[in-house]
Amino acid sequence: MIRTNRIATFIAPALLAALSCLAPRAEAAEAGQVKSATDRAANWLIEQHKDGTFGKGDLRKKPGVVGLVVKSLCAHHQHYRESLGPFITEPVKYLLKCQKKDGSFADNGDDAGLATYHTAMAVQALVATENPKYAPNIEKARDYLLKCQSNEGAFGYQANARQGGDLSNTWWALVALKDANLNPKDDAWDKARVFITRCQDSKETNPDMVVKGCNDTGGAYYQPGHSEFGTEQGRGGSGPRPYGSMTAAAIEGYVLCGTKADAPELQQAIKWFNRNFRNDQNPGGGNAGYYYYTLAFARAMTAAGVDSIEIGGKQQRWCEVLADGLLKQQDKDGFFVNKESPKWMEDSPVLCTAYALQALNLCYKPLKAGAPKEAKAEEKKEEKKE
């Protein structure tokens, strides 16, 4: 969710509410289909490589985008690494050239305000190469990211930024810090966990809700008291509208911060998806940020160890249903692009394909492994009922 415009774009709340009530297409994708889709997406991205970057236009120079693509290729079932070709070695060299003295990553353009995003993505890419010689670069980047955290626990767009932090920056920073082996006892984790609770619509765990009304849905939004998709009316009155991508970010954020599996804040966020899951839209946000959402959701379910969620009153494996939604969006040439909304730069096929490939990579692993014994037993029960 790399932002170029800091002014929030609001979509009519009534329209979003109507869209979110529509049932997702709950069909199940199979492992072979998903494997084929990842191959086509990876091949398309590799074809876009030129001089260490991917695609066309100014976006290709952004280290965050380059890092995102490299990570998606390294996580592919072929385990692409530097030894396999210039489409990994050259982008890695480009990323290293983008690292500044303070440890952050930025290109030579005017993108210093997105340093947290770029640095977090670059760290994930360097770690994914499994090349120990990048350890000093990763350590410098880790130290920079820690400077991006405010006293309230949020991570902003850059170190010592004047504007407050947000859940999106915080989530990506935590992912990178985990990859960079930040000490689990570092107080950055506890501070971040407290911030995440303040972005959640929960009477029980959000300290801000003690004096303010909320709808107690368990979903999450961009910043304390603020959603990128306006407000919604509920039992507790009018409050920020929770949406899928930020609720997923909260789930993995909690896990990274060491939150126990049975903690109410984590369970409430997971249950939000039982009521709101979509595989064709970003629930609560419509078409905006769809591919970012698919990656966030796949990472969240994987991190939380969730195999199935309730869809239409029936337990289904999230990997099957999410993958099915993505397969329906893939172009015949292998790429993905958000044809319905350009918000957060999802009119870029390189960005969307990198998001989608990472999400499908995460779907493929449990699909290949097969359903757990508990899920298979439940399926047999359902078959007998039918």
Per-residue tokens: 166: 């947000």
- The reported pLDDT for the residue numbered 18 is 42
- The reported pLDDT for the residue numbered 250 is 98
Output the DSSP codes for 181-198: T--TTSHHHHHHHHHHHH
Q: Determine contact, residues 297/244, Cβ cutoff 8 Å.
A: yes
Q: Determine contact, residues 269/254, Cβ cutoff 8 Å.
A: yes
- The reported pLDDT for the residue numbered 323 is 97
- 61-87 residue pLDDT tens: 999 999 999 999 999 999 999 999 899
Q: Which residues contact 5 (CB under 8 A, 6 or more apart)?
A: none
- The reported pLDDT for the residue numbered 137 is 98
Question: What residue ranges of the chain have pLDDT lower than 50?
Answer: 1-25, 211, 378-379, 382-386
pTM over cut 0.85: yes
CATH architecture of 20-381: Alpha/alpha barrel (1.50)
Rounded Cα–Cα distance for residues 23 and 19 (Å): 9
| Alpha helices (H) in 84-166, listed in sequence order | 86-98, 115-128, 135-147
Closest CA to 192 of 265, 100, 121: 265
The SS3 assignment for 379 reads helix
Write b or e for each residue in 25-53: b if 16 or more Cβ atoms lie within 10 A of its Cβ, otherwise e.
eeeebebebbbebbebbbebbbebbeebb
Rounded to 10°, the helix 167-179/187-198 angle is: 150
- The reported pLDDT for the residue numbered 148 is 94
- The reported pLDDT for the residue numbered 381 is 53
Rounded Cα–Cα distance for residues 109 and 288 (Å): 26
Q: Where are the domains of the chain?
A: 20-381
Query: How remote is the C-alpha of 336 from its chain's centroid?
Result: 16
Q: Which residues contact 28 (CB under 8 A, 6 or more apart)?
A: 316, 317, 320, 321, 324
Q: 239 pairs with which residues across the strands?
A: 232
Q: What letter represents residue 309's amino acid?
A: I
